[in-house]
Amino acid sequence: MSGVGILGAIIIGILAGWIAEQVMKRDHGLFMNLIVGLAGALLGAFVAGALGIEFAGFVGSLIVSTLGAILLLFIFGLVRRRRA
C-alpha cells in the first residue's frame, strides 16, 4: 500500500475487509474487517509481487487488498472445516 499513508491504509483495510466479508458471505464487524483487510493487504501485496503485478494508489491498493482478504477468508474457511 505504497503512497496512501496510515489513514489511507486503515480506510483501505476496513473497505477491503468489508468487501471480502460480503463476497464470502460472512459477518464479522468493523474491527475484524480492519484486521482481515490489513492482513489481506499483506497477503495480496505478496502474491501480486510474486506474480509481477504492479499496483499503486488508493484504487490499486484497494483491489489488491480486497483480493488478498478474500483469499485469506477462503484459506481460513478451509482450515476451519478440517478441524470440525
List pLDDT tens digits, range 30-42. 888 889 999 998 9
Q: Say which DSSP state 84 is in.
A: -
Averaged pLDDT for residues 67-84: 88
Q: Decide which of 45 and 1 is more confident.
A: 45
> For all residues of the chain together, what is the average pLDDT?
88
pLDDT reported for residue 67: 95
| Residue 28, C-alpha cell as written in the block | 464479522
Domain range for residue 24? 5-83
The total number of structural domains that make up the chain: 1
Residue 1 has pLDDT above 70, yes or no: no
Q: Residue 81 burial (CB < 10 Å; 0-12/13-18/19+)?
A: exposed
Q: Decide which of 25 and 28 is more confident.
A: 25
Instruction: For residues 24 and 44, give the distance between their C-alpha atoms in angstroms, rounded to a whole number.
Output: 16
